[in-house]
Amino acid sequence: MFHPRRTLRALLLPLAAGLALTALPAQSAHAASTLTNAGFESNGTGTTTPTGWSTYSAGGQTAASFTESGGHAGSYRLTHYSASAYKVETYQYLSGLTNGNYKLTAWVRSGGGQNSAYLALKNCGGAEQRTDIPVSSSGWIRIVTPVAVTNNQCTISINSDAKAGNWINVDDLTFTSGTAGLPIKGSDVSSLAKSEAKGGVYKNSSGTTGDALAILKSAGQNYARLKVWVNPADGYNNKARVLATAKRVKAQGMKLLVDFHYSDTWADPGAQSKPAAWAGHSYSQLKTDVYNHTYDVLNALKAQGTTADMVQVGNEINGGMLWNEGSTSNWSQLAGLLNSGYDAVKAVNSGTTVALHLAKGGDLAGTRWWFDSAVSNGVKFDVIGLSYYGYWHGTLADFQTTLDDAATRYGKPVYLAETAYPFRLDSKDSHENIIDLSSELVSGYPASTAGQTQWMKDVASIVEAVPNGRGLGIFYWESTWTAVTGNGWDPTDPSSGNGWENQALFGYDDRALPAMAWFSHR
């Protein structure tokens, strides 16, 4: 006689012994080709094993998984929580599936702190696929997990390995045909040439000195971003230096994003100063300046066989660029400058993607206002880039809302143009770090190599989940900017320090950090 419970226990014994669980029984009550009770609405509150689902805990802590009120869309949700440490899995087995590509989508929240908390697709015929649950104690976040089903079945699994008091909420799952992933896994390496010239050294994780670009490539980086200043005081990040580094980028098989600042120094929401060579130029002349400079740099790149794959016309241009003529207080003029840049990019190579880049990636209203204004003024662009630093720009849920809205509202692909996170708080040089207090951190993400790694995994999951496959990917800022004497923040002051070395992807021992693992995101 078939005893489902006894059979399940026999199968789960190897798991308790630390071995991989390779199969789950096709329990007749649960086996289906579509998810049952995917919104946890069937049982009300306090149900440990909701209709259609099974619960397992090696330590007998199945009570840590239960339904309760407060759903994402409906009335109820699944929660994992216990006042003592626990390990629990809530799962559902699907059978009779047509082989092919599938995507699990779920809405999640978490208070953080777990050893691990993730959604998994396993026993589907290939490698298990996981997506960690981001730390978000208030706003719901949508995550996706893709898988290739090759054996007509798959197990949807919700897992917690948690400390006392840790919790997650999961709700409104869907399992449908589809794929996911990030085409762009990049970083900004604008600091690299000067760092090397000043003695900077880069090592792989085992301590062997090597080419930083090769180390990043071996970790999975497939795209590099280089900024261009017009006539910087230190002679770096200008046309000649960008040309030289672009050769190295392309030699690694990476694609190239060229980021025009249209300045001699940093351009960002607080500063968009004209290059000295363009000072006093009329608006009409500035349009020509933008065109000629953009064309000149990109055409030189093309001529040496390193054509730009993507170009940012401006850097963090929330307030416009080339102040005051190109300020957002005069949108028609800003539009003219942006279109000059666009036209120059396309004149060199029609296949190069043109991006417009704003900061404040959690600012829905501000992002809408800016791009609504751009569209109404006839600005031409292909994709939208947003900077998002969690310690400045709102919650992860704010970021997802803004990114999703930009993709949907304007019908354009989107990417995370800049993000970073500290792996420690103390400074390696005498210059104070921009983020150096625990009070400045994002809740749930410590300033540690683990915290930095988790941050990158979680923002990657948000970009991956943008609807209709419009999430292109991420550029980390700034992977190679380690503390090297002479390579400080101010191109006019050789003695200036670096306030960012605790957010590089190479540690204070110059070794590649664990956070580089995000480059291998599917």
Which sequence positions are flagged as catalytic?
316, 418
Q: Which residue has the tokens 């021992």?
A: 509
DSSP assignment of 293-341? HHHHHHHHHHHTT---SEEEESSS-TTBSSTTTTBTTSHHHHHHHHHHH
Which one, of 303, 302, 282, 300, lies nearest residue 292 by Cα? 300
The whole-angstrom separation of Cα 115 and Cα 458 is: 15
8 A C-beta contact, residue 249 and residue 289: no
8 A C-beta contact, residue 487 and residue 127: no
Query: Which residues, in sequence order, are CB contacts of 376 under 8 Å at separation 6+?
Result: none
Q: How far, in Å, are 91, 94, 95, 104, 162 from residue 52 at the CA level?
A: 9, 10, 13, 16, 24
ω into residue 432 within 30 of 0, thus cis?
A: no
Helix, coil or strand: residue 388 = coil
The whole-angstrom separation of Cα 494 and Cα 496 is: 6
Helix, coil or strand: residue 469 = helix
